[in-house]
């Protein structure tokens, strides 16, 4: 039996293929094998949301998903949030509202917020809070994060 498994997937629009140990989780795969270090590792138990990654369009905890489960799939990390090389409108709103502070939760929070805004173009503040409730932030009290998501929603709908 081979000590490694082959993982072939699309990450942020690029096809990649690597041999990894079967126990390698998705967040370690993107951080160490692909050198995409934007995704953070927090609790390593799937509780905090720092390692949030999108797999086949769904947000997942990168620490709980094996890299092998992404074989043949589509992975999006924080680095893929903007295709232009500039920060996305959501990232800009986080900066404007000072929603990043220490930055530990920010990548996971941004991917979660982006998924929310794809599903719901005009979420209420309550809906925003509910959607991001699986992502922990110890710095902001969530108010600045909710403000930033609401700001992005309004901008995308043509408001200011």
Provide the CATH number for the domain around residue 29. 3.10.20.30
pLDDT band of residue 140 (cuts 50, 70, 90) is: confident
pLDDT value of position 160:
66
Q: Is the pLDDT of residue 112 over 90?
A: yes
Task: State how far the Cα of 75 lies from the Cα of 28, in Å rounded to an integer.
Answer: 13
Q: Which domain holds residue 121?
A: 89-156
Task: State how far the Cα of 76 lies from the Cα of 41, in Å rounded to an integer.
Answer: 16
Domain count across the chain: 2
Q: Is the pLDDT of residue 80 over 80?
A: yes
- List pLDDT tens digits, range 11-44: 999 999 999 999 999 999 999 999 999 999 999 9
pLDDT band of residue 82 (cuts 50, 70, 90) is: confident
DSSP string for residues in the chain: --S-EEEEEEETTEEEEEEE-TT-BHHHIIIIIS--TTS---SSSSSS-TTEEEETTEEEETTTSBGGGGTTSEEE-GGGS-SSSSPPHHHHHHHHTT--TT-SSHHHHHHHHHHHHHH-SS--HHHHHHHTTTS--SSSTTHHHHHHHHHHHHHHTT--
* Average pLDDT, integer, range 47-58: 97
pLDDT value of position 1:
59
Q: Do both 104 and 142 map to the same domain? A: yes
Identify the domain boundary among 80, 110, 134: 80
Q: Do both 94 and 141 map to the same domain? A: yes
Identify the domain boundary among 27, 61, 80: 80
Are residues 105 and 159 in contact, defined by beta-carbon separation less than 8 angstroms? Answer: no
pLDDT band of residue 101 (cuts 50, 70, 90) is: confident
Which pTM value belongs to this model?
0.93
pLDDT value of position 139:
85
Q: Do both 106 and 127 map to the same domain? A: yes
Are residues 13 and 83 in contact, defined by beta-carbon separation less than 8 angstroms? Answer: yes
pLDDT value of position 138:
87
* Average pLDDT, integer, range 121-145: 94
* Average pLDDT, integer, range 80-91: 90
Identify the domain boundary among 55, 80, 105: 80
Q: Do both 70 and 35 map to the same domain? A: yes
């Amino acid at each position: 039996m081979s000590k490694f498994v082959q993982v072939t997937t699309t990450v942020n629009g690029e096809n990649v293929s690597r041999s990894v140990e079967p126990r390698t989780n998705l967040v370690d795969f993107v951080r160490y094998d692909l050198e995409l270090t934007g995704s953070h590792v927090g609790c390593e138990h799937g509780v905090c949301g720092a390692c949030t990654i999108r797999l086949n369009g769904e947000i997942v905890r990168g620490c709980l998903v094996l890299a092998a489960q992404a074989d043949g799939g589509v992975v999006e990390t924080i680095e893929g949030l903007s295709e232009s090389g500039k920060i996305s409108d959501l990232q800009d709103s986080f900066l404007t509202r000072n929603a990043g502070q220490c930055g530990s939760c920010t990548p996971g929070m941004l991917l979660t917020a982006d998924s929310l805004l794809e599903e719901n173009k005009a979420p209420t503040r309550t809906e925003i809070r509910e959607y991001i409730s699986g992502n922990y932030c110890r710095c902001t009290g969530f108010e600045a994060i909710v403000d930033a998501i609401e700001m992005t929603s309004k901008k995308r709908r043509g408001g200011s």
